[in-house]
Structure 1
Amino acid sequence: MSTAEDALANSTSDASLARSKARSAQIDLAIDEDPSKFRILTGDRPTGHLHLGHYFGTLRNRVLLQDRGVETWVLVADYQVITDRDGVGPIRERVLGLVADYLAAGIDPERSTIFNHSAIPALNQLMLPFLSLVTESELHRNPTVKSELEATNGRAMTGLMLTYPVHQAADILFCKANLVPVGQDQLPHLEQARVIAQRFDKRYGRADADRPVFPRPEALLSETPLLLGTDGQKMSKSRGNTIELGMSADETARILKKAKTDAERVITYDPQGRPEVANLLMLASLASGRSPEEIAEGIGDRGAGALKALVTEALNEMLAPMRARRGELMADEAHLLDVLRAGNARAAEQAEATLDEVRRAMRMDY
């Protein structure tokens, strides 16, 4: 097995994860020293509305990184909607809703580039040379691809689903991103991008003598704990167990009133023994800035009703200005389209420049 294949196969090992965490901490310190050294690629599939898991897991951190001075590229991954679906659904509404969520949360289109897959042909063209750099067995070993195959119940996997990790590599590498905020479960995707960058330079050399065509992107691991849905299961748009960012305060209250807890009246923070209660405490903590232990102690023996009321108040207070801004943005479709088109123009220019470099390196610049 080659060095690149070893890296890909071991990207989720305990030792590799420890190294990733240590390196992520170093990168975080380096951002404070000189944010101009970094360019971030991040994004979402427009398969539904963003919810609290998205906000606390990624969106809030994107805004913080932008405000720290890191150049940020935010992808609306519309082509990836069809990797595992028969149709695109209400794609226009969902794409514009994503843009509104980004802006309402604090993404500044003057400092960050918001763009979508289907508007950037040169990005997608990178898939062709990239596919020649990976093997079928490597793609089948990718955890996301494996889990999708296991969940198909005999239905054939699409070619786009199988090559999903390569498409993500194109997303990262087209804009020369050298930093990708990810959770631990996404490390194999990032490692695939690193492998592709390495193999491209090994096979084709460099477009310019003094630097490789592609940087080796690194992970900035999220420190936000995994949040559960209101039913105690994994938070998921398809499960209907989420609180969407665009919901009203009343809708939030109704959903949280039905949230799963347990029979114990005294509220304690015990993620292992009382995961549903701990999850609600963590939501309140993330919304208020207080520790979950402190919140639990304040509630004491007043039970789950008091806990749910406190969580509802904390979340609605935190989300109120974002929701008000989102409402204004959704009423101004022309502005949302202008933001997306401006971002698409910047992304297309970058993608064409990268594709030109790739052609030169491959001796296809004729």
Structure 2
Amino acid sequence: MSQDADLAGTTSEASLARTRARSLEIEAAIETDASRFRVLTGDRPTGALHLGHYFGTLQNRVVLQNKGVETWVLVADYQVITDRDGVGEIRQRVLGLLADYLAAGIDPERSTIFNHSAVPGLNQLMLPFLSLVTESELHRNPTVKAELEASGGRAMSGLLLTYPVHQAADILFCKANIVPVGKDQVPHLEQARVIAQRFDKRYGRVEKDRPVFRRPEALLSEAQSVLGTDGTKMSKSRGNTIELGMDADTTAKILRRAVTDSNRHITYDPALRPEVSNLLLIASLCTGEAPEAIAERIGDGGGGALKAVVTEAVNEHFAPIRARRAELIADEGYLLDVLRRGNERANEVADQTLTEVRQAMQMIY
């Protein structure tokens, strides 16, 4: 199946299998020579990061950085307004997100942290990129389709419709060649690959063996999904999260309200006991001990003993991260300096890429 065909909706199983196999090859190549790779990743600053973010993506970014992969981390402030009327307390959220990154181990001396609104060249790429995709392709993107279905009849903004193209600009402006994604995000990456391919085909760089853009590839995340304390998807809007910056007492209070079940004997059974198993998984991720072993150790202690074990594990694991985060939040000048330096680097690269794009399009006057 061609890349364009995959954009018809969800990624086919055959395509996903190829992506997974290639992802394993990339992981092996990173171990051999990490300097070959540049990764682009990031978050929308819609609120504080929580355990789901940490174990799902943030921890892996630190691993890649420490292995020597050139890491670019985007604070996607413009994408906050894709599906809402305003940005709210955006400045505080951006600084909080930056503090989360640094406290978790992102090193600004080895990684570039930047934000959308400070990099005009990145956003200017949207114009030529939009000429390379059709409206029907955008409507078929799974994220756009899901947002439209969930809108309750509310008109979709132009920015939300073109969200996949903005993501392509994020990836392509810095010439990233790997992007950590879950399987549901693969269509976004395929959109970026198609845009890169179409740009080079239309403006003649492939024939000269000098493509403007590298073809980014997926680094599939196999991280286990952490549910919220109520057993549903962890979400700030549901109030079921444990934030990275929460103190130990607040964490304990939230976990005391966590949903379990009536069976006092604790077992790890994600299919039949999802809430209990999720708490065991959290303790496992924090301690490195297998969830089955934790369950066996608790035995007939019931939900109270389970929650006590999870609380201790979470608070012990995150204590140094929380202490460092508190120091960072108290030093706004340092946070702003980190972002300034990252934005300077991002602008240098964006301007260079934009120059190459203009040259390819014969728009140098």
Fold shared by both chains (TM-score > 0.5): yes
| CA distance in 2 between partners of 1:208 and 1:241 (Å) | 53
How much has 1:13 moved relative to structure 2?
1.8
Q: Which residue of 2 aligns with 1:360?
A: 359
Could you tell me whether the CA contact under 8 Å between 2:7 and 2:140 is conserved in 1?
A: no
Secondary structure, aligned partner of 1:231: coil
Equivalent residue for 2:5? 6
Paired AA for residue 45 in structure 1 = R
Q: Residues 81-104 of structure 1: CA distance to partner in whole angstroms, max 9, x if unpaired?
A: 000011101000000001111110
SS at match of 1:113: strand
8 A contact 1:207–1:360 mirrored in 2: no
Query: 1:194 is matched with which residue?
Result: 193
Residue in 2 that maps onto 1:239: 238
CA distance in 2, matches of 1:254, 1:208: 62
Q: CA deviation at 1:17?
A: 1.7
What is the CA-CA distance between 1:12 and the residue it aligns to? 2.0
The change in CA–CA distance for 1:207 and 1:3 in structure 2 (over 3 A counts) is closer
Cα distance in 2 for residues equivalent to 1:329 and 1:71: 23
Contact in 2 for aligned 1:8/1:195 (Cα 8 Å) = no
Contact 1:41 1:180 in 2 (8 A): yes
User: Contact (CA 8 Å) 2:284, 2:294: kept in 1 or not?
Assistant: yes
| 2:302 aligned partner | 303
1:9, distance to aligned residue in structure 2 (A): 2.9
SS at match of 2:271: coil
Percent sequence identity over aligned pairs: 76
Q: CA deviation at 1:362?
A: 0.8
Does 2:158 align with 1:152? no
- Find the aligned partners of 1:296 and 1:362 in 2 and give their Cα distance: 62
For 1:15 and 1:264, locate their aligned partners in 2 and report how far apart those are by CA, in whole Å: 41
Any runs of at least 4 consecutive aligned residues in structure 1 with deviations exceeding 4 A, and if so which? none
CA contact (8 A) 1:40 1:181 kept: yes
Task: Evaluate the alpha carbon distance shift between residue 208 and residue 102 of structure 1 in structure 2; reply closer, same or farther with a 3 A threshold.
Answer: farther
Provide the residue aligned with 1:278 in structure 2: 277
**Structure 2 partner of 1:42:** 41
Map Cα deviations across residues 314-359 of structure 1 (whole Å, 9 max, x no partner): 1110100000000000000000000000000000000000000101
Report 1:68-79 matches (<5 A).
68-79=67-78
Structure 2 unaligned segments of length 5 or more: list them.
Answer: none
Taking the TM superposition and a 5 Å limit, the aligned residue runs for 1:217-296 are 217-296=216-295
2:319 match: 320
- For 1:78 and 1:208, locate their aligned partners in 2 and report how far apart those are by CA, in whole Å: 37
Partners of 1:301 and 1:217 in 2: how far apart? Answer: 50
**How many residues end up aligned between the 2 structures?**
365
The SS at the match of 2:113 is strand
Paired position in structure 2 for 1:340: 339
2:172 counterpart of 1:173: yes
Separation of aligned partners in 1, 2:288 and 2:272 = 23
Once the two structures are overlaid, the 10-residue window that deviates more, 115-124 or 285-294, is: 285-294
- Per-residue deviation at 1:11? 5.5
CA contact (8 A) 2:10 2:142 kept: no
Equivalent residues of 2:9, 2:140 under 8 A apart: no
TM-score computed with the length of structure 1 as normaliser: 0.98
Mark the runs of 5 or more structure 1 residues left unpaired by the alignment: none
**Given residue 291 of structure 1, which amino acid in structure 2 is its aligned partner?**
A
What amino acid is the match of 1:92?
R
Q: 2:305 and 2:207 mapped to 1: Cα distance? A: 63
Paired residue type of 1:159: G
- Once the two structures are superposed, the pairs formed by residues 6-25 of structure 1 within 5 Å of their partners are 6-9=5-8, 12-25=11-24
State the Cα deviation string for residues 259-317 of structure 1 (Å, max 9, x = none).
Answer: 11111111111111111111111111111111111111111111111111111111110
Query: Which residue is equivalent to 1:99?
Result: 98
- C-alpha change, 1:88 and 1:352, in structure 2 (3 Å) is same
Q: SS state of the match for residue 24, structure 1?
A: helix
| Letter paired with 2:277 | A
TM-score (norm: length of structure 2): 0.98
Q: Give the SS at the match of 1:74.
A: strand
Deviation at 1:207, TM superposition (A): 8.9
Name the SS for the 1:87 alignment partner. coil
Query: Partner letter of residue 113 of structure 1?
Result: T
Deviates more, 1:20-29 or 1:126-135: 20-29
Q: Which amino acid aligns with 1:172?
A: I
Q: SS of the residue aligned with 2:85?
A: coil
CA–CA distance in 1 between the matches of 2:326 and 2:3? 47
Corresponding residue of 1:211: 210
| Amino acid of the structure 1 residue aligned with 2:191 | Q
Equivalent residue letter for 2:333:
A
Q: 1:10 deviation in Å?
A: 6.6
One-letter amino acid matched to 1:145: V
Query: How many Å separate the matches in 2 of 1:18 and 1:237?
Result: 32
Separation in 2 of the partners of 1:291 and 1:19? 30
**Are the equivalent residues in 1 in contact too, given 2:6–2:12 (CA < 8 A)?**
no
Give me the whole-angstrom Cα distance separating, in 1, the residues matched to 2:278 and 2:66. 28
Distance 2:76 2:207 in 1: 30
C-alpha displacement at 1:185, in angstroms?
Answer: 1.2
* Structure 1 vs Structure 2 CA RMSD: 1.3
Conserved in 2, the CA contact under 8 Å of 1:207 and 1:358? no
Counterparts of 1:259 and 1:166 in 2: how far apart (Å)? 39
- State whether residues 11 and 17 of structure 1, in contact with CA within 8 Å, keep that contact through their aligned partners in structure 2: no
